[in-house]
Amino acid sequence: MMLLTKIEPEAFFTVSEQTELFLLSVLAGVTFGVLWDVFRALRVMLPPMRSTALTAVCDALYMIICGLGLYIFSMLFARGEIRAFYWLGALLGAVIYILTAGTVIMGFLRWLFGGIYGFLHKVYLFAAKPFVFFRQKMLTKMNSKFVSNAKKIRAKSKNYKKHLKNIPEMLYNKSAKMK
């Protein structure tokens, strides 16, 4: 006769396993904070990223990535169980990163990209100077042509009223009265 033992799956995590999962979720939160810094660096580096629509798209993409990251975390490390302390640990890890290393890194990136942007702006101004000068010359010539043409047209338009026939049956103006 064979003794059958009932095999029951573990229903609960032990305290040490929960602590380990919490610390792993804090580490996952730090990676989410690094990802947040990547998106912030894109906003600093690329001025078109400062628009509202692109910011909303980046924020939605960030939230999707974080949600999938926590889902994958729970599948890999926590037997597919979703617990509130994973979310709190990830939030805590992201906040700790952003308030400590994230501030230093973003300050450095702002300084770096500000210097690069300033240098490229000076190069652009130097390279564009001949084109701006040419454009100004062309606009000055074109402006004088347009002004002289406008004066001629205005002078001719004053003469048009002299050519209108003064016949009482013809109504040139709605406010005019018929005799």
Residue 176 has pLDDT above 60, yes or no: no
**Does 101 or 154 have the greater pLDDT score?**
101
Q: Give domain status of residue 135, yes or no.
A: no
| pLDDT higher at 107 or 177 | 107
pLDDT greater than 70 at residue 3: no
Mean pLDDT, range 48-60, rounded to an integer: 79
Residue with tokens 């600093």: 44
pLDDT tens-place string over residues 5-52: 555 556 677 888 889 999 999 999 999 999 998 888 887 777 666 677
Q: Give the C-alpha separation, 107 to 75, whole Å.
A: 36
Are 92 and 27 in contact, with CB atoms under 8 Å apart? no
Decide: 36 and 102 in contact? Cβ < 8 Å.
yes
Using only C-alpha atoms, the chain has a radius of gyration, in whole angstroms, of 36
CB 94 within 8 A of CB 36: yes
> What's the mean pLDDT in 174-179?
59
* Averaged pLDDT for residues 113-136: 84
Residue 37 near residue 113, CB atoms below 8 Å: no
Inside any domain, residue 91 = yes
Confidence (pTM) = 0.58
Residue 92 lies in a domain: yes
Asked if residue 14 is part of any domain, the answer here is: no
Number of domains in the chain: 1
Give the whole-number percent of the chain exceeding pLDDT 70: 79
- The DSSP element (H or E) to which 143 belongs, if any, is helix 103-160
* Structure tokens belonging to residue 127: 């390279």
Q: Assess if residue 160 is contained within a domain.
A: no
Range of the domain at 62: 21-121
Task: Report yes or no on 97 lying in a domain.
Answer: yes
pLDDT score, position 32: 95
**Does any domain span residue 109?**
yes
Residue 147 resides in a domain = no
